[in-house]
Structure 1
Amino acid sequence: MDLIIRGREPTDAAAYQRLYSHPEVFRWTTQLPFPSVQTWQKKFENMDAAGYIGFVAEIDGQMVGELTLFVEQRPRTRHSISFGISVDPAFGGRGIGEKLIRNAMDYAFNWLGIVRIELEAFHDNARALRLYQRLGFEQEGVKRKACLREGEYHDIVVMAKLRD
């Protein structure tokens, strides 16, 4: 079982729909649950138009995770980039998230000339927060009651890593 990381393709919409329909995935995002394939197709068009860069992690042809780099468009903040990431819970604990993030950091720092990579994570997503810290991201702040999840507002932790 070799892990392959590749660029996102328009034909990945159904795989994204499956991933983001999983309760243990959408609960950790700021997206609404149960998106349709058509919703993902439209998101892909919008992301492509905005210059966002998507990566897919595959094992044996099956998408097991994804990461999207959100490229900043404002001239004075173009040196910064943020990302969103999700991994299929059935493949958790295998280093897929770490490999996706390391790939994204290499791409951002060495191909886009980025100086700062930012992220946001739920305050109670301990597993993700530990991974981000291990990869050198530092907490910069907390957005209090920033996102509604399952009827309650939750804090969002803001983290960043600067180019070494």
Structure 2
Amino acid sequence: MQTTIRHAEQDDYAAIAHIYAQPLAAAGTMQIPLQSREVWKQRLAGMATHDRMLVAVVQGEVVGNLGLHPVPNPRRAHVAGIGMAVRDDLHGRGIGTALLKAAIDLADNWLNLLRLELTVYADNTAAQRLYQNHGFVLEGTHRAYALRHGQYVDTHAMARLHPAPPGVR
């Protein structure tokens, strides 16, 4: 499967809304299920100039996205948070890997970011493996972090430093 990564364009809002309308994408992220296309249109239009929204394109269709959000506080200018989702029917096909590799390259080689950080649901072992395979390490657990399907669930805080300290992949 040939995957192309590019920066999101204004016209991608409908495809991004479709990704997050799917059950696994909604449950695996902090997004509210079933948001309108207009919400995503406004988000893309209102993104801060330092934010980056990457999309994965397969056969001309946007099938995944990753937000790279540098922290605006000058004391944390070396840090960015990430969040991503892939269309439910395409999990396990390398799309998340392609998005993450592109974001890491951008962070390390173009944006001079030292630290990438994220939260991942404690029961999402596939995503945790993906992040670990790209140098992210577990830093702690947030108990009862978010409401999902009517239950409070834990998340793990993970981060990646560049260059990685000795002993870290």
Secondary structure of the structure 1 residue equivalent to 2:46: helix
**Equivalent residues of 2:23, 2:88 under 8 A apart:** no
Deviating beyond 2 angstroms after TM superposition, the runs of 4 or more aligned structure 1 residues are none
Q: Partner residue of 1:6?
A: 6
1:134 equivalenced with 2:133 (yes/no): yes
Q: Partner residue of 1:81?
A: 80
Q: Which amino acid aligns with 1:32?
A: I
1:21 equivalenced with 2:21 (yes/no): yes
Secondary structure of the structure 2 residue equivalent to 1:51: coil
Q: Deviations over 1:34-80 (max 9, x none)?
A: 01010001111232x35310111011111111101011111010101
**Equivalent residues of 2:3, 2:98 under 8 A apart:** no
Q: Calculate the aligned-residue CA RMSD, in Å.
A: 1.0
Structure 1: give runs of 5+ residues left out of the alignment. none
CA 1:50–1:149: 2 relative to 1, 3 Å: farther
Q: Which amino acid aligns with 2:55?
A: V
TM-score when scaled to structure 2? 0.93
Aligned length: 163
What aligned pairs does 1:98-117 form with structure 2 within 5 A after superposition? Answer: 98-117=97-116
Give the whole-Å Cα distance in 1 for the aligned partners of 2:45 and 2:14.
14
Give the whole-Å Cα distance in 1 for the aligned partners of 2:15 and 2:100.
19
Q: Partner residue of 1:145?
A: 144
Secondary structure of the structure 1 residue equivalent to 2:92: coil
Q: Deviations over 1:125-144 (max 9, x none)?
A: 11101111111100001111
Secondary structure of the structure 2 residue equivalent to 1:124: coil
Give % identity.
Answer: 39
Q: Partner residue of 1:40?
A: 40
Report how far residue 94 of structure 1 moved: 1.2
TM-score when scaled to structure 1? 0.96
1:71 equivalenced with 2:70 (yes/no): yes
Report how far residue 92 of structure 1 moved: 1.3
